[in-house]
A and B are shown apart, each in its own frame.
Chain A
Amino acid sequence: MRRSLQEVRLLARDPVLLVLVVVIMASLLVFVVYPLVLVLLQAFRTPDGFGLDNFELIAQRRLYRNALRNSLVVGAVVGVCSVVLGYIAAYVMTRTDAPLKRLFHNLTILPIVSPPFAGAISILFLFGFNGIITRHLLGLDNFSIYGFGGVVASQIFTFTPIAYLSLRGVLAGINPTLEDAALNVGASRSQVFWRVVFPLSLPGVASAFLVVLIESMADFGNPLVLAGAAFPMLAPQAYLEITGSFNLARGAMLAAVLLVPSVTAFAIQRYYINKRQYVTVTGKPTASTSKSVSPAAKWALFAVVALFGLIVIAFYGVILLGASTAVWGFDYSVTLRHFRYVFEVGWDTVKDTVIVAVLSTPISGVLGMLIAFLVVRRRFPGKGGMEFMSILNFAVPGTVAGIGYILAFNGPPLILTGTLAILVLNFVFRYVPVGIQSGIAVLRQIDPSIEEAAQNLGADGITTFRKVTLPLIAPAFFSGLVFGFVRAMTAISAAIFLVSANWNLMTVQILNQVGSGRLGVAAAFSVVLLLIVLAAIGIISLIVGRRAEAASTVRFG
């Protein structure tokens, strides 16, 4: 008590900072916590008060029971497969001298920058009723890709890059001298891997698995396209309850059920496993000697990476083909009709999507950096609460957040439904954790005495942030922007609840077109979306490249 009083007094020395803390706290409460609380309240609501009635439906109705089981099983299977693939790719990239590493790195992470269900569309082109492979190559007439296999395949394609990126960081952080030391004391190559490298990377493996599990359970687009009616899953089912049957209570109940495993996995990942990471971040890249991998193993692993790369090429190639083919499966003549549709009928949607992303990305980025600055460098009561609230959205599936926003902002006191604001606010607070995480990571590397020096020389808290902290974290800020922009352009699960006739998004359009069987238009939308994202990444990295050059040569502390 005495300590928080003292902290308030310290903060009150810097009135701007105090106001900022209060404003951020208030907006986190309104735009993160409040919608979530409403979802939970709605889920427990019964005709006469509150109770578990809605949840009893899970026991009573096979549909819901299956949805829960399917989501969990798919999440686990995708988690294992993506981690294995991601681990192999990360190992090849960090521990071998395999050829074309740069190219395969970029291919492996390409699915991250496309809509999260681009893979699903490709799978339809290749394995659907009119798929090239299933129908034309194999001549199968009654093969159905819908269901478990289809969802798992498209999710592995979508989430392997995430596992790869996080495991790459883990493996790069394990000092190769440890492997040299093990070889030196007589361990064989396989012993070096199984007794040294693998145990050291185990916390990272567990962490990557949980992240993929969370993403898979929260995924909306792939199941909606590929699950089919016979294979219900939680996220699309919650959506169907609300938009199809207008049953908010059941939708909220399914969302609440979805929330439990997600939040649990997130809590384990963040508060248990991450404290057990052996990785020492020295910022000093240590060169791998590449002696711990035999040539045979190297080429075998490389084959896996190359295969994944080829699949990525095939999937995007097929989308490009599909977008310029008249009628897939029947008439393979080249046409620009689908693109014309995008630019004529769908142009407003393209514009809306870009406006929403361009507005929400910088706001989210600045807010993220500010919160990171406050959390790492300042002491104030409720700091832990602020950090928790602001990263909560990592764990909250988009479907849950979307339902929460409908519940929260559909009526007084704050009516936002159908506006641009509701989309922007949702995106800002959904993707702010990304900015916070990268901001925290960079700030921890910057000697705090640099900021103390600024204060010592007469700068107040906000001036210090503006003149010293912000320029130093600019590269992280901009790469956070890239990620935020990509997420904003490709988001679907929360957005699908919030779009309206006035403000529509390309991802929602793509799903609608797939739903009405116009795969060509869906593919054309996907291509345009991907091009916009790649162009934005190019522009931002041009800016960052110039800035980073100035800052990266500097020794921090």
Chain B
Amino acid sequence: MAIDLKLVRLRKEFAGHDGGAPVVAVDDVDLAIEKGAMVTLLGPSGCGKTTLLRMIAGFEEPTSGEVWFGQRRVDRLAPNARDTAMVFQSYAIFPHLNVYENVAFGLRMQRMDKATAKRRVDEVLDLVGLTAMAHRAPSQLSGGQQQRVALARCIVLEPHVLLFDEPLSNLDAKLREQMRVEIRELQQRLGITSVYVTHDQTEAMALSDVVVVMNSGRIEQVAHPAEIYARPANRFVADFIGRANFLGGAVVDARTVEVAGRRLALSAETPIAAHTTVTLVARPEAIDLSPAGDDVGDGLPGSITRAMFLGDHAEYLVAVPGVGDVLVVRSNPSQTGMLEPGSAVVVNPGPLHALPPGV
């Protein structure tokens, strides 16, 4: 597939407070995005994801580096000359214009003739299900409807790149899930290259073809959601995406590690040399937990220090001698029953992922 959006050593420094050292918000980021892909920038607050997005839109001037839309270099262009369309966190709907006028705003700026513009706006309003609301004022709309206006206002332009700045963070949980599905379906149907900023990993997983995990202005990993989850590139990614137990161990061979004297299997072959000390990632829900005494093979013995019932699942903290505290999640506890704190158990971590040393 052709590369549609390319960032080359993109960097943004903000002036430090009181003449102090400049703060690096985005630190020489390289990224290439294929045409039609939905890419999320995921990271904790302050990681530079929003600054990166705003540089693509043109609201922030890069300190250095390049932004390319296809064959066109855009980093020196004003925001209104870039052919991007952005869905803002606060929606940024023009409060003095009604729904139709909001959606038509961009086309009017292009001086498109009224008839064509009307046809396009009507089509898009139909697409997002707002035809009946065309002449309402924004203040008469619910949060979800305002969200749809913001989205319609962008896709009606058929922009080169569609940008999303945490667009769902102001919605309640139910609506958020619903809008997530709608955005994904629309984006796939229209095939517009999209960049989506969020700090919500579930949203990132649900939406994207590619997840870009960012931290302190740098990209930590770029991969498909499943890949990010199963094979995090480093400790930060493993910790930030989902929950993780970190176990210390040593590589035995490409498929085996030794943890607290027991040999355990790896989820995939590791290139790391034998005898190297490594950190291993064990996802809490992948760990098998059984009462001691059952036939459990190579499991690690331990005892439960904390048990919490959480409805659809239960969380246990298990003290494992030689390893430390291990978090275990078991689903459907109302059917399988709870284990009591203090009881002796055997922990079987399942396939482990070895983090490359030194990260």
Chain A residues proximal to chain B, CB less than 8 Å: 3, 6, 10, 13-14, 447, 449-450, 452-460, 463, 467-468, 471-472, 550-551, 553-557
Contacts and interface: CB of A to CB of B under 8 A. Distances in A.
Contact of A557 (B59, B92, B105): B92
B204 interface: no
B15 A449 contact: no
Contacts of B93: 450, 453
A460 to B, nearest CB: 5
B133 interface: no
Contact of A453 (B81, B86, B96): B86
Nearest to A379: B61
Contacts of B80: 455-460
A550 B90 contact: no
Given A468-B94, A557-B90, A456 B139 contact: no
A458 B92 contact: no
B88 A455 contact: no
Q: Which 4 A-B pairs have the closest CB atoms?
A: A554-B95, A458-B109, A457-B106, A453-B92
Interface string B64-104: 00000000000001111100111011101111100000000
Instruction: Classify the secondary structure of B's interface with A.
Output: loop
B238 interface: no
Contact of B79 (A6, A450, A455): A455
Given A458-B109, A472-B95, A553-B139, A449 B90 contact: yes
Q: Which of A450, A455, A456, A554 has the most CB of B within 10 A?
A: A456
A452 B79 contact: yes
A167 B58 CA distance: 43
A554 B139 contact: yes
Contact of B57 (A3, A13, A456, A555): A456
Contact of A554 (B77, B85, B137): B137
Interface string B137-181: 111000000000000011001000000000000000000000000
Interface in B287-327: none
B81 to A, nearest CB: 8
Contacts of A449: 88-90, 92
Nearest to B79: A455
B110 interface: yes
Nearest to A457: B106
A395 to B, nearest CB: 27
B93 to A, nearest CB: 8
Contacts of B78: 13-14, 455, 460
Contact of B94 (A14, A450, A456): A450
Contact of B85 (A456, A460, A472, A555): A456
A329 B88 CA distance: 71
B95 A555 contact: yes
Contacts of B61: 6, 10
A447 B57 contact: no
Contacts of B85: 456-457
Nearest to A463: B109
Contacts of A553: 137, 139
29 contacts: A6-B61, A13-B77, A13-B78, A449-B90, A449-B92, A450-B95, A453-B94, A454-B94, A454-B105, A455-B79, A456-B57, A456-B58, A456-B79, A456-B86, A457-B85, A457-B105, A457-B154, A458-B80, A458-B110, A458-B157, A459-B80, A460-B80, A467-B105, A550-B137, A551-B96, A553-B137, A554-B139, A555-B139, A557-B90
Nearest to A554: B95
A458 to B, nearest CB: 4
Interface in B97-128: 105-106, 109-110
B86 A471 contact: no
A142 to B, nearest CB: 65
A472 B92 CA distance: 13
